[in-house]
Amino acid sequence: MPNIWQSLSKPIFCLAPMFGATDSAFRQLLAEIGKPDLMFTEFINVQQIFSPDIKTTTQLLSYTSKEQPLIAQLWGLDPEMFEVAADFIVDAGFQGIDLNFACPVKAVVKKGSGAALIDNPALAGQIIEATLKGSKGRLPVSVKTRIGYKTITTEPWFKFLLQFDLAAISVHCRTAKEMSVGPTHWPEITKIVALKNKLNPKTLIIANGDIFSREIAAQRLKETAIDGVMIGRGTFHNPWIFNPVQTPKTKAEKIAAWQRHLEIYQITWGKLKPIHPMKRFVKIYLKDFPGALPLRVSTMNSL
């Protein structure tokens, strides 16, 4: 199977995986209004994949053909489970496997997973090796991470990661402790690119952190010589951000996008999921036009 990371034209524009937000319905909507070059599932616990109660995991792994190319993102602690999960992901039709070493949420890092693995390179290495073994070269393996856990540890951490046969490393240019608050440390990304060019030129470097427009993305690409950008919260500021043709959206276009997202959500999930999670998306579309506030309030109350 071709390596999707190498097949795509550069720079690559990726949708950041965000739990509870970038589900199949949202990805389908983006595929219609401005499709990212590459999308990821919400992060999936490797142990849940093989749990007797697989309802949630089944939903997280659900996708339609219009969402391709799509990469499955995994998290957890047990290397053996990553190996078995990798084989499962190959058979499920995804285009790659991404390992989450970035999540700063307390419930995740308290277990020693997510971004906590930055301070446990021995286990992180075992997880990477197990995933590569399970993939058997059939799918590319990538990592999403940060520039440090509590403090910036760019050089030792990325020297370590670049030892492995990773197709790409996506980097949030904050520490886990900083979460998504405060300044981003983009000069660290430049250091990572230099390390990559020296140690493992084949591995692509994708960076994210406060990219709220295509203009900012272009600036970061030029400044750092990265291979692409990953956009998360910027998608909520402008759902059309991945569309290379940027035009001001009218009231009618914004309302139509909201209605289409709601329609896709209902078609995709039906009775499998309640409707109230859609409340978080209302303010994404129904804003910045006369009458937006009362319309937003009435729409929220109706969900």
Contact between 33 and 257 (Cβ < 8 Å):
yes
Neighbours of 87 (CB within 10 A): 16
- 149: CB partners within 8 A, 6+ apart: 109, 115, 116, 118, 119, 175, 176, 177
Percent helix, strand, coil in the chain, to 5, is: 50, 15, 40
Cα 272 from chain centroid (whole Å): 23
- Tell me the HSE value of 178 on the side-chain side, using a 13 A CA sphere: 17
Tell how many helices (H) and how many strands (E) occur in the chain: 14, 9
Query: Where does residue 94 rank: exposed (0-12), middle (13-18), buried (19+ CB within 10 A)?
Result: buried
- Is 103 an active-site residue? yes
Rounded (5°) CA angle 175-4-163: 50
User: Measured between alpha carbons, how far is residue 214 from residues 16, 31, 109, 284 in Å?
Assistant: 15, 17, 32, 17
233 three-state secondary structure? helix
Active-site entry in 72, 103, 241, 284: 103
d(CA 16, CA 211): 11
Partnered with residue 44 across adjacent β-strands are 74
Partnered with residue 14 across adjacent β-strands are 38, 230
Catalytic residues, by residue number, are 103
